[in-house]
């Protein structure tokens, strides 16, 4: 089974890396492995623990009105309904645009033997997006698609996803903004996005773990891929490297402080055309995990948090 797992991960990683990267409408976060519910509601079904996380990201420091993101991510297992539930709240700014969204997630997991699960998730919520149209400057004065006044619109949010977790492997796929097609998307209507990720947790020794991963997001017309690897020392210190196909790379450093409390920081920089206009992106993450009750039957060790 171990050899089969290696083959599955290799094939998935190769397939996910074949896409060409461009810009995205969804917020980009370096700590996606700790906030996977933001992109995939099925995550809340593959855990028995309670997770609460906060994240703040300032992108392209020095660039006027650069993107910034803050989010709250919480989820856990409810024994009475034998399912996972979660909450995501996101505040995102980009230039003259501001977005605030809140959504809840539900997921049910089906056991695949004693060491693996397949989870199916649904996420619903609301998205408020505002644009300071009065501050925008257009190349053509009579642009019919232009926004010339300050405007705010409220839209529903719908997302679906599934995740396989077991044998030290995690594979996930999800669709966000499911109700909005690419054909008639606007600044107020974020187009449908497809997310896919794969990672494998390898215990090199009892005190040293390596977790390589691949994460791809696409709206069909624009696609971005990320390759990362995290190393965990003595189940306490985490160090990682990040590479994005949008001419960006970075590093991550984290520490398990005390009984489920984890804090980490990441820095990534652009080595493309924007490198002369900004000094990189900073991101801070803090999370707390409350262990759930252990199952009587043998249960797999999830690679998601590398502990």
Q: Is residue 299 part of a domain?
A: no
pTM of the model: 0.82
The answer to whether residues 219 and 24 touch, using CB atoms and an 8 Å cutoff, is: yes
CATH number at residue 129: 2.40.160.40
Q: What is the dihedral angle through the alpha carbons of 100, 25, 124, 103, rounded to the nearest 10 degrees?
A: -30
Q: Is residue 109 part of a domain?
A: yes
Total domains, the chain: 1
Closest by CA position to 231, among listed 258, 213, 249: 213
Q: How far apart are CA 135 and CA 150, in angstroms?
A: 8
pLDDT value of residue 211:
97
Q: Is residue 307 part of a domain?
A: no
Q: Is residue 90 part of a domain?
A: yes
Tens-digit pLDDT profile for residues 83-127: 999 999 999 998 888 999 999 999 999 999 888 999 999 999 999
Q: How far apart are CA 190 and CA 27, in angstroms?
A: 11
- The domain of 90 spans 2-290
- 130-139 long-range contacts (CB < 8 A, ≥24 apart) are 130/97, 130/98, 130/99, 131/96, 131/97, 131/98, 131/187, 131/188, 132/96, 133/96, 135/96, 136/96
Q: Is residue 304 part of a domain?
A: no
Q: Is residue 190 part of a domain?
A: yes
Q: How far apart are CA 109 and CA 170, in angstroms?
A: 14
Q: Is residue 21 part of a domain?
A: yes
Query: Is the predicted pLDDT of residue 174 greater than 80, yes or no?
Result: yes
Q: Is residue 30 part of a domain?
A: yes
Residue at token pair 């190349």: 139
Instruction: Give Cβ neighbours of residue 206 (< 8 Å, ≥ 6 apart).
Output: none
Q: How confident is the model at residue 191 (pLDDT cuts 50, 70, 90)?
A: confident
Q: How confident is the model at residue 8 (pLDDT cuts 50, 70, 90)?
A: very low
Range with lowest mean pLDDT among 24-28, 42-46, 114-118, 149-153: 24-28
């Amino acid at each position: 089974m171990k050899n089969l797992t290696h083959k599955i991960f290799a094939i998935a990683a190769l397939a996910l890396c074949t896409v060409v990267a461009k810009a995205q409408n969804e917020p980009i976060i370096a700590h996606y492995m700790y906030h996977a519910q933001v992109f995939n509601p099925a995550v809340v079904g593959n855990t028995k623990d309670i997770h609460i996380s906060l994240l703040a990201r300032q992108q392209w420091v020095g660039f006027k009105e650069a993107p910034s993101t803050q989010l709250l991510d919480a989820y856990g297992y409810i024994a009475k309904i034998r399912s996972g539930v979660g909450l995501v709240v996101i505040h995102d700014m980009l230039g003259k645009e501001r977005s605030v969204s809140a959504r809840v997630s539900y997921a049910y997991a089906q056991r695949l033997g004693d060491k693996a699960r397949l989870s199916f998730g649904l996420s619903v919520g609301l998205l408020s997006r505002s644009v300071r149209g009065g501050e925008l400057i257009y190349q053509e004065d009579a642009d019919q698609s232009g926004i010339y006044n300050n405007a705010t619109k409220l839209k529903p949010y719908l997302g679906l996803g599934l995740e396989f977790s077991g044998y030290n492997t995690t594979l996930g796929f999800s669709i966000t903004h499911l109700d909005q097609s690419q054909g008639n998307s606007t600044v107020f209507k974020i187009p449908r996005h497809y997310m896919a990720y794969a990672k494998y947790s390898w215990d090199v020794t009892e005190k040293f773990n390596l977790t390589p991963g691949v994460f791809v997001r696409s709206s069909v017309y624009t696609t971005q891929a990320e390759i990362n690897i995290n190393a965990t020392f003595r189940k306490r210190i985490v160090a990682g490297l990040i590479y994005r196909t949008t001419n960006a790379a970075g590093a991550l450093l984290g520490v398990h402080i005390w009984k489920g409390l984890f804090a980490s920081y990441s820095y990534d920089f652009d080595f493309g055309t924007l490198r002369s206009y900004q000094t990189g992106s900073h991101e801070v993450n803090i999370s707390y995990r409350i262990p759930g009750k252990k199952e009587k039957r043998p249960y797999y060790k999830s690679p998601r948090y590398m502990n």
